[in-house]
Every structure is written in C-alpha cells, then in structure tokens.
Amino acid sequence: MPFPDLAARLAQVRLLVFDVDGVLTDGTITISGARRWSVTDGFGFLLARRGGLKTALCSGRNDPEIEARAERLRIDALRLGRMDKGAGVTELAAELGVTPAETLFVGDDLFDLPGLAAAGVAAVPADARPELRRRADWVLSAPGGRGAAREVIEAVLRARGDWERVLAEFTGGGDD
Ligand SMILES: [Mg+2]
C-alpha cells in the first residue's frame, strides 16, 4: 500500500463511488451495446449493504443497461452522463449524507482524475491508466471488471471492523 495510513483512512469510509466502464467492467462494450458484468463483484455490493456501506455509480455514459445493473445491485445513488467526476463525487456524498473524506472513489481513466482528487480515498484498478495509478492512494490487485470492486468492498469492511459480522451471516459463526 503506497500510503502507510491507508488502513486507517479506509476505516473512515462510508460511501463507495465507482466509475462503471473499466471498473465494474473490463471496459469492453459489444457492438450491440452489452457489457460483461462480474458476478463476484456484484455479490460484493450485497456484502457492502449488509456491512452498512453506501454505494454509488458515477459514469460519463448514460444508458439503460447501467441503470438496470444498478437497480439489480440496489445501488444507493447514480450520476450517469456525468463527465465531471469531481462534481459527481461531491454531489453523491452530499446526497447520501457523508463527507467527501468519508468517500472512496474508484476510477480507471483520465476523466476520473477529478473524482480521485475529490474523494477521501482514491483507488484504481490494477489496469488503470498510468496517470491514475500515479495519483492513487491505492492501486488494487484486481483489474476492472474482474474483482476490483469486490477487493475494495472487502478491504473497507475489514478496515471498519465489519467483515466478521458480515461473514458470520454465511458461515453461521464468526470464523474466517
Ligand atoms: Mg472508466
């Protein structure tokens, strides 16, 4: 972790804001307009909700597939068709009643740089553009669309001390 105090900062996070293409997906969109969504990441959103975290999407694109996915994952708030990710992050934090310092943003490409700057914790998938990796507080081990969201969600739940409780709902106990 590039910042020694990252775990302490993750413990303050209450809202996770994700860019969509290249973060929740591998960045590809088929000619018919379909994306490939990760079931593993999708399940992470259920864990986030059970752990008391709020979630939001902020994308420059605005199409029904993203809305449908957000509804299925029961994401708390959306900013679609929003090119200004800095304003998007600030607005989402205000809408959901958290401070920017309590907000973590995940983005992968140049449009996301203002979002990284606006959030308390700036995270990027392993395969984000180099300009983003240089400015991130946290470069994830997983690439976009293949575990990046799940990695963020589990790490924040662990840092906040909520992971064991969430896990216990599946194991029937508190063991890891
Ligand atoms: Mg992107």
Domain ranges in the chain are 6-167
CA of 135 to the centre of ligand 1 (A): 16
The rounded average pLDDT for each run of 10 residues, N- to C-terminus, in the chain (176 residues) is 79 98 96 93 98 98 95 98 96 98 97 98 98 97 98 98 95 66
CA of 75 to the centre of ligand 1 (A): 18
Token code pair at residue 42: 């999708």
Task: Tell me what pLDDT residue 123 has.
Answer: 98
CA of 9 to the centre of ligand 1 (A): 24
Neighbour tally for 82: CB within 10 Å: 21
Residue 146 CA to residue 160 CA, distance in Å, equals 24
Task: Tell me what pLDDT residue 36 has.
Answer: 94
CA of 175 to the centre of ligand 1 (A): 36
Single pTM value for the model? 0.95
Task: Tell me what pLDDT residue 120 has.
Answer: 97
CA of 1 to the centre of ligand 1 (A): 22
Tell me which CATH code domain 6-167 carries.
3.40.50.1000
Helix pair 148-160, 163-171: axis angle to 10 deg: 110
CA of 159 to the centre of ligand 1 (A): 26
Comparing CA positions, the residue from 49, 88, 80 lying closest to residue 63 is 80
Distance of CA 18 to the CA centre of its chain: 4
CA of 11 to the centre of ligand 1 (A): 25
Residue 120 CA to residue 73 CA, distance in Å, equals 24
Task: Tell me what pLDDT residue 90 has.
Answer: 98
Q: Output 137-142 pairs: Cβ under 8 A, ≥24 positions apart.
A: 137/2, 137/3, 137/6, 137/9, 138/1, 138/2, 138/3, 138/6, 139/2, 140/106
Neighbour tally for 55: CB within 10 Å: 22
CA of 174 to the centre of ligand 1 (A): 36
CA of 172 to the centre of ligand 1 (A): 37
Token code pair at residue 150: 């799940």
CA of 126 to the centre of ligand 1 (A): 13
